[in-house]
């Protein structure tokens, strides 16, 4: 059995039901929107985020979930999909998960409006069912994600990102949504405040590890969803690069900054930057940080009683860190 199948096993029925409910949540009478949402549903990813919601909910609900757990998972996936659609516009990206992105097929104007539509559907789903506690969790996540994206744009212009700023960017941009997933699962089963806060932190730590793993793909050899060196080409400051800039000589630092700033489209230069990061120990440092986040997340998880759902969350955490793409 594949790892993802093992993780899904304790929540198989919930994920099957979720698929139907999620598709329904995107429904529209506008034919263009229906075609586009059909396109989105057929090109869905691994659905990690709803899986986190259901595993955490079942861990707190003694193997059961509530109807509002489904709504919480749908809201998370709607918001996540909206941010991906908007991200592709912001990054001017033509591909998503190996397929043409929405903006490549329908252009930016429609992509932005579809992202807005998905965002509104998520908010309406919560409001109509008076899930205000769940809405608070996701609204705070959306605010943080927007701030993180803007902070990254601001800092990447001058390439003055320190490690501290980098951690804040990835906490807001990536980790905050996984934190919301785990908090949502606990809150949907009316867990106490301390437990919800713990699960929020657990999700945040996984998100930090997840993003560092994503950074490492930029320096790998294997063919994955994102092209090699794409972060350098887009002037995104990854942890291995930031660490390298902090450890090399001033002349090498000047060369690296110039390469990323002015020669980031040149394949030969990008390869040289990648090699310099590898030679300077930037990758090893990032791996150690990622492992530290995994360890902290496990410490939190093991404060809860052992169950098949807790074990599936351990599997999920390890999968996030050990995935090949």
Q: pLDDT by residue (tens digit) across 176-217?
A: 999 999 999 999 999 999 999 999 999 999 999 999 998 888
Angstrom distance (rounded) from CA 206 to CA 7 = 15
Q: How many domains does the chain have?
A: 1
Please report, for the chain, how many H helices and E strands are present, in that order.
16, 2
Q: Which residue range(s) make up the domain with 8?
A: 3-322
The CATH number covering residue 55 comes to 1.10.600.10
Residue 33 pLDDT > 80 = no
Non-local (6+) Cβ contacts of 166 within 8 A are 237, 239, 242
- Structure confidence at residue 110 (pLDDT): 80
Task: Calculate what percentage of the chain has a pLDDT beyond 90.
Answer: 45
CA distance 62 to 195: 15
**pLDDT for the residue numbered 156:** 75
Instruction: Say what the pTM is.
Output: 0.87
Start-to-end CA span in the chain (Å): 19
């Amino acid at each position: 059995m594949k790892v993802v199948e093992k993780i899904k096993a304790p929540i198989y029925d919930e994920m099957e039901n979720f698929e139907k409910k999620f598709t329904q949540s995107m429904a529209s009478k506008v034919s263009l929107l229906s075609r586009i949402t059909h396109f989105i549903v057929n090109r869905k990813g691994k659905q990690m985020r709803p899986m986190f919601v259901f595993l955490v909910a079942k861990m707190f609900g003694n193997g059961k979930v509530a109807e509002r757990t489904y709504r919480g998972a749908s809201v998370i996936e709607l918001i996540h999909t909206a941010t991906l659609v908007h991200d592709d516009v912001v990054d001017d990206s033509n591909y998503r998960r190996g397929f043409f992105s929405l903006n490549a097929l329908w252009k930016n104007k429609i992509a932005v409006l579809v992202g807005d539509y998905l965002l509104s559907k998520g908010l309406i789903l919560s409001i109509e069912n008076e899930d205000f506690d769940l809405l608070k969790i996701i609204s705070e996540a959306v605010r943080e994600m927007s701030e993180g994206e803007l902070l990254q744009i601001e800092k990447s212009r001058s390439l003055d990102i320190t490690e501290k700023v980098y951690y804040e960017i990835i906490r807001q941009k990536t980790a905050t949504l996984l934190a919301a997933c785990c908090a949502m699962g606990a809150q949907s089963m009316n867990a106490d405040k301390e437990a919800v806060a713990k699960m929020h932190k657990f999700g945040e730590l996984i998100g930090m590890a997840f993003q560092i793993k994503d950074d490492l793909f930029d320096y790998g050899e294997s063919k994955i969803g994102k092209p090699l060196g794409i972060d350098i080409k887009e002037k995104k400051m990854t942890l291995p690069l930031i660490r390298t800039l902090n450890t090399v000589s001033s002349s090498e630092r000047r060369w690296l900054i110039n390469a990323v700033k002015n020669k980031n489209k040149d394949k030969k230069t990008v390869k040289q930057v990648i090699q310099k990061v590898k030679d300077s120990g930037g990758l090893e440092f990032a791996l150690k940080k990622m492992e530290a986040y995994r360890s902290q997340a496990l410490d939190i998880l093991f404060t809860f009683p052992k169950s098949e759902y807790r074990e599936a969350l351990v599997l999920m955490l390890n999968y996030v860190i050990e995935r090949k793409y």
